């Protein structure tokens, strides 16, 4: 009898020990609400922060710093790749403009691939600067023509979204194509299109096109 009673005590003690052990394990585990972030989540947070910082730098005119910020990322996404591509093209276009290679600058600028409003604004301003430089150069050379001289006012009034729509519609949304606004009549925009040659030394003339932003119709003028 005493033996059976002793066994019951031993079993009860063992069960109690197991319960206490499991409780201790449960208490030592990190609560689900405070679980550490996974590496993929940390990467996403890091990327989002870098993109935000890059856009801020772009808005301040610090384009190389913005590109350096994105280049430093260990993992590139579609968003960062598009913004890096836009920054590289912008810097190349700015360099060509500084060297007075206006057509090459336009070809380098291409079209905006990212969704960055800061980048679109920078492209628009640089496109106007290129138009102003081309117009001034043509005036000085007494070669001004209504079809091939970019008008600064037109360039300023032409949004990057309109240029992108035209480029996508016409197939000029690839690297090396430069789109230069030269005229605007209501919803109809006239663009001069140039393309880099193989060695990037000159931007070859492709044609003059009218684009109706309302109907999306494209007409080659020259």
> pLDDT tens-digit profile of 153-179?
888 889 999 999 999 999 999 888 999
Mean pLDDT of all residues in 29-47: 65
Residue 89 makes CB contacts below 8 A (sequence gap 6+) with 108, 109, 110, 175
Query: Is the model's pLDDT at 54 over the cut of 90?
Result: yes
**pLDDT digits over 6-19, tens only?**
445 444 555 445 54
Question: What is the percent of the chain where pLDDT is above 70?
Answer: 74
Structure confidence at residue 189 (pLDDT): 96
Q: What are phi and psi of 110, to 5 degrees?
A: 55, -140
Query: Is the model's pLDDT at 58 over the cut of 90?
Result: yes
Rounded Cα–Cα distance for residues 130 and 152 (Å): 9
Q: Choose among 97, 218, 93, 98: nearest CA to 166.
A: 218
Residue 141 makes CB contacts below 8 A (sequence gap 6+) with none
**pLDDT digits over 75-108, tens only?**
999 999 999 999 999 999 999 999 999 888 988 9
pTM of the model: 0.74
Which is more confident, 5 or 198? 198
Structure confidence at residue 4 (pLDDT): 54
Structure confidence at residue 148 (pLDDT): 46
Question: What is the percent of the chain where pLDDT is above 90?
Answer: 54
Which is more confident, 21 or 189? 189
Residue 129 makes CB contacts below 8 A (sequence gap 6+) with 97
Structure confidence at residue 3 (pLDDT): 54
Q: Choose among 89, 104, 129: nearest CA to 195.
A: 104
Residue 21: pLDDT band (50, 70, 90) is low
């Amino acid at each position: 009898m005493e033996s059976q009673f002793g066994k019951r005590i031993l079993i009860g003690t063992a069960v109690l020990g197991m319960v206490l052990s499991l409780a201790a394990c449960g208490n030592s585990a990190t609560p689900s609400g405070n679980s550490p972030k996974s590496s993929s989540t940390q990467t996403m947070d890091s990327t989002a922060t870098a993109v935000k910082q890059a856009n801020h730098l772009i808005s301040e005119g610090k384009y190389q710093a913005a590109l350096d910020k994105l280049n430093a990322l260990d993992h590139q996404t579609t968003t960062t790749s598009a913004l890096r591509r836009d920054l590289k093209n912008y810097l190349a276009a700015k360099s060509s403009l500084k060297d007075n290679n206006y057509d090459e600058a336009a070809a380098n600028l291409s079209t905006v691939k990212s969704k960055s409003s800061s980048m679109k604004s920078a492209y628009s301003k640089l496109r106007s600067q290129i138009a102003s430089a081309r117009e001034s150069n043509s005036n000085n050379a007494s070669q001004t023509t209504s079809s091939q001289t970019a008008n600064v006012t037109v360039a300023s009034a032409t949004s990057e979204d309109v240029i992108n729509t035209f480029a996508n519609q016409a197939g000029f949304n690839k690297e090396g194509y430069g789109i230069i606004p030269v005229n605007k009549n209501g919803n109809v925009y006239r663009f001069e299109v140039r393309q880099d040659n193989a060695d990037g030394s000159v931007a070859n003339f492709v044609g003059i096109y009218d684009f109706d932003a309302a109907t999306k119709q494209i007409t080659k003028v020259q």
